[in-house]
Amino acid sequence: MLRPATRPALVATRQVRQCAARFFSSPVSPDTSSSHVHSPSTTPETNPAPPPPNSRSSTSSSKGKKPLTAEQRAFLSSALRVNQAGELAATLIYTGQTPPLVTRDPSLRPLMKHMYDQEAAHLRTFNDLIYRHRVRPTALYPLWSVMATGLGWGTAMLGKEAAMACTEAVETEIGGHYNAQIRKLLEMVSEWEAEGYEVGAEFRHLINTLRRIRDEELEHLDHAVEHDAQKAEPHWLLTGVIRAGCRGAIWVSERV
């Protein structure tokens, strides 16, 4: 179903996938093993060698769960905030794109509906997480709403190719962004495991949720490339501008 991987977007997809595969396969990322701090007093026999990955739940019951540090909480807050803002924007982009696109090409209706439904489910997931973990939502909520609707409607007015190029650009950025978050979370978890602490179900669940959502976003990227995203004129300009905009919005949402 996919075309040969000579095109840059597919190469990008593949790189993101490989990244993802690496984090799936190795629970302890190499650069964290040196940075963690052993607490000297307890369980000296488990400290020198971190437990093998398959026996993690049985060995780590002695020390309980480690409280989050201020930096970790700040990271988690900004991560959830930016994810909610991103999913809100994605929902509105598809809402804006659907009517003009479907009027021109009714065969796109199921695809647009499928992608919209997935994004709406992601938004619900993050709304719930933000409420449960008491994170402040982004203060620029109205701004992102207007800009995302405008982006979706504007690219759809430029044509199907431009709309798909928009999806391609957005989902590439988002995929990389989710991967960075998952990487950071796995570093936290492996650090805890190396120190002999337990890891709560909350974190395992969060990581699994992020992985699932990341995979669905990358699936949208594939759909966009299959539907002639690369034929947009001028492709480099559209994707470049949208990707830069995404990075800017992510940067701002992490802070405000």
Which residues form the interface with another protein (CB under 8 A)?
65-70, 72-74, 76-77, 80, 84, 99-100, 103-104, 127-128, 130-137, 139, 141-142, 153, 157, 200-203
- Annotated ligand binding at 205? The verdict is no
Q: Is 36 annotated as a binding residue?
A: no
Residue 244 gets which letter from DSSP?
Answer: H
The least distance separating another protein from the CB of residue 14, rounded to whole angstroms, comes to 33
Nearer residue to another protein within complex by CB, 64 or 240 = 64
Q: Which is nearer to another protein, 141 or 236 (CB)?
A: 141
| Secondary structure element (H or E) that encloses residue 158, with its range | helix 141-158
Question: What tokens were used for 114?
Answer: 């499928």
The nearer residue to another protein, 169 or 206, going by C-beta atoms, is 206
Q: What is the DSSP letter of 134?
A: T
Give dist(CA 112, CA 126) in Å, integer.
Answer: 21
CB of 90 or CB of 225, closer to another protein? 90
Measured distance CA(68)–CA(63) in Å, rounded:
14
187 is in an annotated binding site: no
Beta bridge partners of 65: 198
> Cα–Cα distance between 218 and 213 in angstroms, integer?
9
CB of 6 to another protein, least distance (A): 35
Half-sphere exposure of 109 (CA within 13 A, CB side): 7
CB of residue 117 to another protein, shortest distance in Å: 20
| C-beta of 144 vs 178, nearer to another protein | 144
d(CA 18, CA 13): 9
Q: 38 a known binding residue?
A: no
Binding positions are 87, 119, 122, 171, 217, 220
Binding positions for Fe cation are 87, 119, 122, 171, 217, 220
